Amino acid sequence: MTSREASVPMPRTARRGRPGYDLDSLLAVAVEVFNERGYDATSMGDLSERLGIAKSAIYHHVASKEVLLRLALDRALDGLEAVTQGARELDVSAVRRLEHLVHESVVLLLDHQPYVTLLLRVRGNSPVELAALQRRRALDRYAASLVRDAVRAGDLRADLDPTVTARLMFGLVNSLVEWTRPASRAHTQALPDEVSALVFDGLRVRDRPR
C-alpha cells in the first residue's frame, strides 16, 4: 500500500495544489455510485459525471476502476479485522467475545456502511474480489470457532450447528446494510444493542426466573 492509498486521509488544511478531490473524497463518491448501480454496471463515465470532472481526470488518482474497488474493499476489511482482533484480545469467555464481536460489528457497519456494503456484494468475479472474499472467510472462521467454544462451555444452545449458527448471526448483522441509512442516525445508538438482544435472547416473550 503506497502513501497515496493510506486508509487515514491526509489533513486537507494547508495543502498545496489545485483544490478538488483527493483520493479519499474521490473514493467516497465512487463507493456511493458503486453501491447504487453495482460495481460492474458503473462505468467510468458514470463516475466522472457524478464527480463533476472529466473521465480522464479520474485516472490521475487511480490506475483503473479495479483499483477503486480494491481500495474500498481494503477499508471495510481493515475495519472488520480490527474488530475481530479486539475480540481476540479480550480476556473473557467465548460468549462474551462473541457478544463483543456482534456489537462492534454493528457499530463498524453503521460507521463505514458504504464500504462494508460494497464488500458484502462482492462475488469473486476478479482476483481483487477473490482476495477480499478470502480475507472475509478468515473472519467467518474465527466467529464460528467462538460459537463452537461457547456451545462447549454451555453458554449457547447445543441443538444448532455452530457453523450454521455463526452464518445466521452474521447474516442478520450484515443485513443491516440493506436498509439502514447513514442519514438516520436515530437508530444508530440503539441498533447494536437491539441486534444483540435479538440474536442472543430471541424475540419471544416468556416467563423468566429471577
Partner DNA sequence: CCTACCGATCGGTAGG
Which residues contact DNA by CB under 7 A? Answer: 15-22, 26, 42-46, 48, 52-57, 59-61, 63-66
Do 187 and 180 form a contact (C-beta atoms < 8 A)?
yes
Using rule CB under 8 A, residue 66 touches a second copy: no
Please report, as a single letter, which amino acid is at residue 13.
T
Q: How far is the CB of 207 from a second copy (least distance, A)?
A: 5
- For residues 116 and 38, give the distance between their C-alpha atoms in angstroms, rounded to a whole number: 14
Residue 34 has a CB neighbour count (10 Å cut-off) of 23
82's contact among DNA, a second copy, none, with CB below 5 to 8 A by partner kind, is none
Q: How far is the CB of 136 from DNA (least distance, A)?
A: 24
Q: What residue has cell string 469473486?
A: 124
Binding mask 146-185 for a second copy (x = CB under 8 A): --------xxxx-xxx--xx-xxxxxx-xxx-xx------
149's contact among DNA, a second copy, none, with CB below 5 to 8 A by partner kind, is none
Do 118 and 34 form a contact (C-beta atoms < 8 A)?
yes
- Which residue lies nearer to DNA by CB, 20 or 182? 20
- For residues 9 and 5, give the distance between their C-alpha atoms in angstroms, rounded to a whole number: 9
Q: How far is the CB of 97 from a second copy (least distance, A)?
A: 14
Q: What angle do CA 166, 137, 82 make, to 5 degrees?
A: 90
Using rule CB under 8 A, residue 208 touches a second copy: yes
Using rule CB under 8 A, residue 11 touches a second copy: no
Instruction: Give the burial class of 154: count Cβ atoms within 10 A of its Cβ; 0-12 exposed, 13-18 middle, 19 or more buried.
Output: exposed
User: Does residue 63 sit in helix, strand or coil?
Assistant: coil
Q: Which residues bind a second copy (CB under 8 A)?
A: 36-38, 40-41, 95, 121, 123, 125, 154-157, 159-161, 164-165, 167-172, 174-176, 178-179, 187, 190-191, 194-195, 197-209
